[in-house]
Structure formats: C-alpha cells, structure tokens
Chain A
C-alpha cells in the first residue's frame, strides 16, 4: 500500500503531535515503555490508510492504541512474552508504590483509570474508546480505585 501525498502529510502531522502522547498513554495502560512504543507504532500503521478519511484522526488513533493494548493482553500464549511492567524508581516512594499497585490491576481497570485520570476523558468518552457502556466504565473506575487504595496500604 502506498500512501498518497495528502495521506502522508496528514500522517506526518498526526505523528508529530500524537506520537509521544500516545506512547505515554500506552505506557500507562500496559505498564511497559517498550510495549507502548510497539503498540503506538502498530497503531500508526493501522491509522495510516484512513488518516484522511476519518473525521477525528486523533480520536481514531487513541481508540486504536487502546484496542491494541487490550488485544495484546488477550493474545493467548503471547502475553508472557511481552515485556513485563517496568519497575520504576523515582525519589518519591509514594509514586513508586502507586505505580506498582497500578501495574497489578487487571488491564480493564488500568485502562479506564489511565483514560480518566491521565487523559481526562469523561466516562462517556472512555466508554466510546473502549467500546463498552458508561456504566461499565463507572464500575471499573470504582473497582480500580478501590484496588489501588488496598494496594498502597
């Protein structure tokens, strides 16, 4: 598949603006910077052909990143080969502790928490990105936060 000039320009602009934010988001959902970079690379590949046809390339890209992150976790026999979550080391012990707790959460909770508290998306927007009902988002947020409270005791 060869990209036309318009697609290439659009893709380039999208890449400039969104690549790093998407890596950061993917990192927060997957726990691994290495995985995040791979996923975002894959997401741009998938978005490339549609970049001039979708109404909201940024939103489309984000949804693609979220879906790829989720699908990676679902790949049977594959998950254990993925780079595991990063153990980080800052000079803020509470941050290190919280990150460790985040990494222990199931992906479904980790994803909604990242979209809510990092991306500042509303529950409706998260539901749209994850393809689930707002009520599901609400309950995952609730459970995720409850698990974090337990996890950092």
Chain B
C-alpha cells in the first residue's frame, strides 16, 4: 500500500468505507473456536424492547440481524492504484481516466441478484416504469444525495443492480442486459436536473456516433437519476458516449463494455471522463480541449432554478381556473402522498423531475377529482390555500422548512398577526423532506375573511397572515392579502407585524419576492454574528459542528463547519467559519438568499458568506452607499464553491475592512438572482464588522439587478 498518506487520513477513509459497508462485503468472520458465534443475551427488558421494536417498525427500519442477507463475494483483483474518486470536488477541471470502481457500492456490479437484500438495506427514493417494467430506486439507509443512491441501487424485474462507480465522478451509467432492449440507468452527481444525451461511440474516444434515445431523467436526492431503454440488446453496444449537462456544468464520459449476460450488468471494460466543462461543450477528443485549471466557466446559470412565485406552478393557483379536472396534473406529476380528509380521498402530486417543496408546489393537490395548486411557494417557508369545498372549508399547504412541522391555525384580521379563535390543527406529514398539511375548518370557506398560520419546523418558526376574497364552490378562495415573518425562534410568533417585537428574520409579503430590510439576525446562529463576540477560539464551534469545506485565502487556511445534524444553508449558517484559529458566524441567514460577513482580518479585509439558492452562484462585489443599491467600484470576486448544495464564498478585499462603509452583493444562482446592500459600522481587529444597515431583493430574473430599491 501507499505510505504517502498519513495514517490518520487512511483511518478516516477506512471508517467511512466500513461504516457503510454492506453485508455483502463481509466475507468472513474470524471465528475463534469451533463454536458458532452466539448472540449477546441482553434482551431482558421485554416490554421496553417491544417498545423500541415497535418504534423501529413504525419508522420503517427493519432490524437486520447478523448474517441476514450476507453473501460471501468472490474476491476480485484489486484495481490498480488508481486516482478514482479524486474528482475535482472543489472546482478544478477533471480530465482524468475514470476507472471502473465498484468498491464502495451496494449492490456491487456482480449484478442481477435478488432484490430483497437491497430493499431491506435501502430506502425507496423513487419509482416508475420503463418499457412497461416497474423500477424502484433505493438509497442506502443513513446516506443522502448521490452517495446514497450509489450505495443503494436499482431494482427492476425483481433484481437488484448497483449504480457504481460513483460520486464524485459526476456522471455514471450502467448497461443492463434486460432483454431485446438494453436498459441503461445512472446518476449525474451534480445538483439539479441534468440533460442526458446518449450516443454510440468507440471505446477510448469521445466520439459521438449515432444518437440514442434520451433516457428519462428526474431529480432524486438533489441529483439526477436517469433510466431508459436502448433500441437494441445491450450486447449490441460495445461503447457508449454519455454527455450530461447539469445546471451550470457539463460532463462527458465514454464507456466501453464487455460481454453481456442476461439479467446482469454488462461489465465496463474501459471508461474515461472529463467534467467541470462549460455547459454544452463536449470536447471531441480526450485531452485536446482547452481545460485550464480552475476553469469555473460552469457558472452560467441554467433556467431550472428555484421556483418563482406563481409563475411555474401547475395547476395554477389562480382561483378561477382552480378545481379543474385532475387529469392534466396527474399526467405531469408523480403521486407523493395520499390520504383522506372529511371522508374524501386526496392525493398529493409533485412535478416530475422536481423534488422537495418545489416539486409539491409545482405539482398540486387532487381532491374529489379536482386539481388545486399549492402556490405561491418556496422560499416562502409556509403557505396555505383555502378551498371552497362544501360546508366545511378545506385548507392545505406546505411548510418548506425541512422536517415535520406543527401547524396552528386561527381566525385573524387581515393585515395583522392577531391570533383569534383557534381552528382545528390540520393533519401534517413529511413529504419529500418538507411538511404538507391538510385539514378542514368548522365552517364554510366563505366564513373566513382572514387566517393566521403559525408553523414550527425543527429549529424555525414562521408566521403568516392571509386575507381571503369571495369564495366559489370547488375553487380556491382568492388570497386578497398576505404577509409573513419567518426564521423565527421556534414557537415565538410576534403579535404585531413590523413591531418592535419582530426581531429576527425576513419580513416579506408571502406572495412576493422579498424586497424588505434584512435585519441583523443573531438569533439562531452559532457562533454568533454579534461582532463583539466573534473571533473567539474555534474549539466550541469545532466540537459542535462538522467540517464541510476547507481552503486557503490570502495564504491563511480556513475551514467551514456545518452544525451537526443540519445540512444545506441552514447547517452552514448555524455552523461557521474558522480562520486563523478564530470562529466567525455566518448569520443572518436562510431564507435570505445571500448574506455576507466582513471580517477585520488585517491589512486586507476578508469577506465570506452563503448564497442559499441551490447550485453554484456567481458572486459580484462592489463598493456602494448605504441604503442604496448603487454599484460602485468593482471589488475582486471571491472564490465560490458548492457546499451542502448551496454556494459558499470567501475572498479578500484590496483594503482593510475599516475602509468599506458599504458593500453591494449581487449573486446569480442557477435560475435566480439576489441583490443585497450592506452598511458597516466600526471595525475591530479580528472581529466581524457590525452590519449597521442592510436591504435585499431576491427572486430576481438571472442577472437583473435593480439599481433602485
């Protein structure tokens, strides 16, 4: 083995591999004597054990006993000491050979085994049919994203197939000899919905030959999963070219295939890939393209970004056209939940190719054969639709924060946050990671001129007040007014919109883009962004958070931490940045789409922040004047990378932090831009410079930044 890597690094890697190792990779147990291994006898507390088993059963987690499903695997020759999994995760261009790595994936590419093991060890994350055959996609339990899928696998025709080699190789493909038509399936590991092009090719080239049918692609776990059939048997394709374009970035792979065996994955005999390519630019010859190091041309925004208010929702929430027959919705969306309310069956649909709150909000609700939209939507954290569905009004909506929310409803007065007569709490369930709620009201929808919607998700509360217009049977009641506050401390709902008690978060009209002041929110963040307490020793942060990225800026090492148990922008903003042994918070945060902290770190100021929209953002900085959106002298663009699905940026300014009374921060994520102006107070060495004023506009069309607030 190589002695170059420190034992600590190898140990960490070993732990990561072993922790998620499937039973199939356990080839033997070291039996110390002839007796068969017995099981520990510590199930004495029968009643409690039963309780835990019931919990296990209720959450769908089966207890896998030793040896269950284990099958010795034949030891294969280890691959050559390879650069596998050394993809340019931080943005450098990958122009390397991608070996056939089946090491960490489960099921492995000794394929076509019974599906039972996979379905026990994984969580179903997607399903569908292809060429008349049902398929189900599994993610390894306890894992997410591309890793989870690649360590999970695909079940079709009762057989399980792995999806390796994998992440961070950006795209991958498996060819399955599934009958007269070859089956292909794979994952594009970049965030968002990818376009996948397939063609015949020649092994060892990047030649694009005859085009093949594009597979069906959908976003699963934040990345793209694709599946499709080929016109001929898998045996007829000695090589395939796989070109993928995700939001902002393309990847190109060429795969050669060996002999085919019915119902098995066709062995990959050779493969090579290039990634981090500018969108749509696929070099025809491996190595010949201009692939300069640090190529970050992938910043170009794609057009499938965050959901915009109303515009992308289908069925529309325009009340007059709501309540239409459900057929259209059902043909363009996937059922993600169902149930009954007031004796009526309902089904919830997520737009095909989308996931999370976006998917639901661009999908809709079907009840009584009629379809109702659920917009406006994300990133408004909570939303509600009132439906005139009979003697009892029906409410349904989405709380876009992750996890299970509590939802409180009450009568109210338009334009206030008054909590009036409590109304029955709707039923709430987690769908696609966020909360969907549905319930009935004691009286007809026509009886409620205003509703107060207070929601509390794990870690965050949101408060909305909605006014309603005239009701029509079987239609949404039009929302005549709405306002909201979010990022509230759990359970704290200010009584007065805009009053003194509204300390944190973004006060914005619930139906529109936020064009409001962004207060300096230190409430939920750790380490605090209270400047006077910033720059403290890093130990507290590093003990409560997990390192998610690192690098150097201006010759100094930095490390980014996400709060343990949290992910995405929330995790980073509740974690923080360590530089020079000092910890700095990154609040206020999400759903303010972008934020910036200015640190007085020496002769050159340091800026760091998060753009909460998914994907890689471009970040433009300039000098400005407080209270405007003026773009003054351009400042150096910070380094940007995707961390936890969102963009983290860090950079230095030409002068001391004390020299910048105001900064303009313009960001463009895939599909959406945001504009912020921040004023700064007095600077103190090794501390955050206090933000004295700030304002922002977001949900802007890409690249369109208003000059005047």
Residues of A within 8 A of B (CB): 1-3, 8, 11-12, 15-17, 19-21, 24-25, 27-28, 32-35, 37-39, 41-42, 44-45, 48-49, 58, 72, 78, 80-95, 97-99, 102, 113-114, 117-118, 120-122, 124-125, 145, 148-149, 152
Q: Distance in Å from the Cβ of A146 to the closest Cβ of chain B? A: 9
B158, chain A: closest CB distance, angstroms: 26
Q: How far is the CA of A41 from the CA of B62 in the complex (A)?
A: 11
> How many residues on B have C-beta within 8 angstroms of the other chain's C-beta atoms?
66
Interfacial residues of chain B within 52-72, with CB under 8 A of chain A in the complex: 52, 55-56, 58-59, 61, 63-67
Contact of A28 with B15 at beta-carbon distance under 8 Å, contacts A3-B51, A124-B543 already known = yes
Q: A11-B55, A45-B49 are in contact. Are A27 and B40 (CB under 8 A)?
A: no
Q: Which B residues contact A (CB, under 8 angstroms)?
A: 1-2, 7-8, 10-21, 23, 25-33, 35, 37-40, 42-43, 45, 47-49, 51-52, 55-56, 58-59, 61, 63-67, 73, 75-76, 78-79, 101-104, 141-142, 539, 542-543, 546-547, 565
Minimum CB–CB distance for A138 against chain B, Å: 14
Residues from chain A with Cβ under 8 Å of B1 in the complex: 93-94, 97, 152
Give chain B nearest CB distance to A115 CB in angstroms: 11
Evaluate contact between B18 and A28: CB separation under 8 angstroms.
Answer: yes
New A-B contacts (11) at CB < 8 Å, excluding given A15-B52, A87-B27, A90-B21 = A3-B51, A24-B142, A41-B49, A41-B52, A86-B28, A88-B26, A89-B26, A118-B12, A125-B543, A148-B11, A152-B1
Q: How far is the CA of A17 from the CA of B565 in the complex (A)?
A: 9
Do B49 and A102 touch across chains, with their CB atoms under 8 A apart? no
Q: How far is the CA of A44 from the CA of B543 in the complex (A)?
A: 24
Query: How long is the Cα–Cα vector from A90 to B14 in the complex, in angstroms?
Result: 10
Specify which chain B residues have a CB less than 8 angstroms from the CB of A85 in the assembled complex: 29-30
Q: Is the CB of A91 within 8 A of B40?
A: no
Is B55 touching A12 in the complex (CB atoms < 8 A)? yes
Pick the contact of A19: B23, B51, B61 (CB < 8 A). B61
Which of A11, A84, A102 makes the CB contact (< 8 A) with B52? Answer: A11
A-B pair count, CB < 8 Å, reads 179
- Give min CB distance, A84 to chain B, whole Å: 4
A24 touches B29 (CB 8 A): no
Q: Per a CB cutoff under 8 Å, which of B2, B21, B64 touches A88?
A: B21
Question: Could you tell me if B64 and A38 are in contact, using CB atoms closer than 8 angstroms?
Answer: no
Given A33-B26, A37-B66, does the pair A91, B76 have CB atoms closer than 8 Å?
yes
Question: Given that A15-B59, A81-B35 are contacting pairs, would A32 and B29 also be in contact in the complex, using a CB cutoff of 8 Å?
Answer: yes
Query: Knowing A90-B25, A98-B11 touch, does A122 contact B543 (C-beta < 8 A)?
Result: yes
**Chain A neighbourhood of B42, CB < 8 A:** 38, 42
The residues of B that contact A99 with a CB separation of less than 8 Å are: 14, 17-18
A93 to B10, CA, bound (A): 11
Q: Is the interface of A mostly helix, strand, loop or mixed?
A: helix
- In Å, the complex CA distance between A93 and B21 comes to 15
Q: What is the CA–CA distance of A91 and B84 in the complex, to the nearest angstrom?
A: 11
Known: A90-B103, A97-B1. A2 touches B47 (CB 8 A): yes
B residues less than 8 Å from A19 (CB atoms): 56, 61
Residue of B7, B31, B565 most packed against chain A (CB within 10 A): B7
Contacts of A32 in B (CB 8 A): 29, 66
Interface centre among B18, B32, B103 (most CB of A within 10 A): B18
Which of A89, A93, A149 has a CB less than 8 Å from the CB of B25? A89
Give chain A residues whose Cβ lies under 8 Å from the Cβ of B543. 121-122, 124-125
Partner of B78, one of A8, A12, A92, A121: A92
Give the 8 A-B CB pairs with smallest separation, nearest first: A34-B66, A20-B142, A24-B19, A91-B103, A94-B1, A118-B15, A98-B14, A89-B27
